[in-house]
Structure 1
């Protein structure tokens, strides 16, 4: 293992912080193992460098009762403790996601999370674990995020939450929520940096071959087209046509004409049925196609802009930055098969 610099004031003292992680049947394994590896590599790094003789983090898995728990993937994790056994020891309580349908009815767990919130220094959710915090009433009036595929559901079922779909993670006071699955690694690195500084967090990120601060948001990895009109077959057909003809005239007047409707009535219907304006749907469809071309081919950015209906590269660049927080060239560098631009 390579070395790194770790600067700290003379008065700095190492202490071991307990990370309590709730596990339940159907939990997403990576929500647990991802953050755990960040904290464990921090332990290993400091010990290998001779900077600390002891662990700086202690990971405790907490289940309804001690014993094996089967994850969503079928892997089994063994929880040595039950939640409620280590209340005084927990510094950071992490709530992972997974199969929420059963666990959301566990009132004992919900009540315990609510009771623990003021007692822990940090309360953290990964992926759909945000639903447990929401059910406990801890996200009311707060900004929060969850897996991109569940953001609409979170907003619908808990309207008091300001759901932010494109965030990797969000902090509100001592409560942190993070996006889909691997976002738990991003959040764990941020917590590590908060506790021990950038040097150690950056070293662990490099060792795990991940960004310390990932560029862009969840929307780089989500499907923008998960807004199918459920009640109108004719509108679904129009959406399918838009997806297949992104380079065509997509002005609202042209789309309304295809539906034999006035532009005003068409715009109102589209928004009601899909939750977004026609212009937004078209823009996201074009970005989705442009992303595919950037990831899989060697066409120039200018050619892709032309083929996807953006007309020019500058217009596509502005759309990428607005919705993905990264420009097309940088997107290709990170996710493409070729660096040719």
Structure 2
């Protein structure tokens, strides 16, 4: 019997807890009793703990009682994971992780592991909206932005919210084979393996500031005329600069080249049209500046891991 322990704390995200634990619970239906998962919840402080949605949960053990080894120790995300100071948790975690065979995080639970110094030197991920924040907070970790979940040695980290289910299914498949994991996935009505990564959910560009600099002025002009055929030279002419000087300035301000910006802008523009309209792919490719459906499909597949048709099916 394997023990899966989940640490709870004030303002944790309930789905980060219930999603993965439901996977292990349902897996028990398909396993012999001696192979069942034993599920244990550990509270960061005495008494009931209120999740971020207001639901109150009573943990099985208080943190000072949780001294036994477990096979997998998981940390959920939620506002409490990145906004609260929890010195008692940070003091307890390193020894708890040493006692565990595997440890990991769901969504923004990575911040707690990072604050405890447990992500240094590992490949990790978190919810796409928080990856930049995690990069700054845990500079010694290698934060990847487009993974649903990552296994690096004995550490498992996952992207946002429901990605914890993907992570748990992967654990079940590793422990008991793909067939059991597939049976659990069917009960939950989820896919065993998603198409694409987190990039399909996140915008490729952050919002462009209104007319703050020469570069942002050009960005806004490009976004207003996305269907036009832009080159670096044309964008530089809008800024009254040479192409070489404009490119250097662009990279210095935005950490991307003008053509990288243009490609991301066109993909995001096409995504919006795919989500909100029934326009034919040819029209969307034209309006977004790709020139052809073939070119749009190629860039979608490279950046998002999905074709435009697959994207529309998932998000419209």
TM-score by length of 2: 0.91
Structure 1 residue aligned with 2:5: 20
Does residue 211 in structure 1 map to residue 167 in structure 2?
no
1:50-65 correspondence to structure 2 within 5 Å: 52-53=32-33, 56-65=36-45
Corresponding pairs, count: 315
Alpha-carbon distance between aligned partners in 2 of 1:229 and 1:162, rounded to the nearest angstrom = 29
Offset at 1:36? 1.4
Alpha-carbon distance between aligned partners in 2 of 1:94 and 1:231, rounded to the nearest angstrom = 45
292-301 or 17-26: bigger deviation: 292-301
Alpha-carbon distance between aligned partners in 2 of 1:190 and 1:78, rounded to the nearest angstrom = 27
Does residue 149 in structure 1 map to residue 134 in structure 2?
no
Q: CA 1:249/1:139 → structure 2, altered by over 3 Å: closer, same or farther?
A: same
Alpha-carbon distance between aligned partners in 2 of 1:240 and 1:166, rounded to the nearest angstrom = 26
Deviations 1:163-221 (A, max 9, x none): 11001111110001111111111111111111111111111111111110111000111
Structure 2 residue aligned with 1:127: 107
1:3-152 correspondence to structure 2 within 5 Å: 15=1, 17-43=2-28, 45-46=29-30, 52-53=32-33, 56-99=36-79, 100-103=81-84, 105-152=85-132
Q: For residue 67 of structure 1, give the secondary structure of its aligned residue in structure 2.
A: coil
Alpha-carbon distance between aligned partners in 2 of 1:188 and 1:232, rounded to the nearest angstrom = 45
Structure 2 residue aligned with 1:9: none
Alpha-carbon distance between aligned partners in 1 of 2:167 and 2:312, rounded to the nearest angstrom = 25
In the alignment, which of 255, 278, 292 is matched to residue 312 of structure 1?
A: 292
Offset at 1:74? 1.9
Structure 2 residue aligned with 1:174: 154
Alpha-carbon distance between aligned partners in 1 of 2:48 and 2:216, rounded to the nearest angstrom = 45
Q: For residue 312 of structure 2, give the secondary structure of its aligned residue in structure 1.
A: helix
140-149 or 286-295: bigger deviation: 286-295
CA contact (8 A) 2:208 2:220 kept: no
Structure 2 residue aligned with 1:291: 271
Offset at 1:53? 4.5
CA contact (8 A) 2:82 2:112 kept: no
CA contact (8 A) 1:65 1:81 kept: no
TM-score by length of 1: 0.85
Alpha-carbon distance between aligned partners in 1 of 2:94 and 2:209, rounded to the nearest angstrom = 37
Offset at 1:226? 2.0
C-alpha RMSD of matched pairs (Å) = 2.2
Task: Considering fraction of residues, name the structure with more helix.
Answer: 2
Alpha-carbon distance between aligned partners in 1 of 2:133 and 2:210, rounded to the nearest angstrom = 15
CA contact (8 A) 2:82 2:111 kept: no
Q: CA 1:52/1:140 → structure 2, altered by over 3 Å: closer, same or farther?
A: same
CA contact (8 A) 2:223 2:265 kept: yes
Q: CA 1:62/1:230 → structure 2, altered by over 3 Å: closer, same or farther?
A: farther
Runs of 5+ consecutive residues of structure 2 not aligned to the other structure: none
Offset at 1:42? 1.4
Alpha-carbon distance between aligned partners in 2 of 1:305 and 1:231, rounded to the nearest angstrom = 27
Structure 1 residue aligned with 2:261: 281
Q: CA 1:77/1:240 → structure 2, altered by over 3 Å: closer, same or farther?
A: farther
Does residue 267 in structure 1 map to residue 267 in structure 2?
no
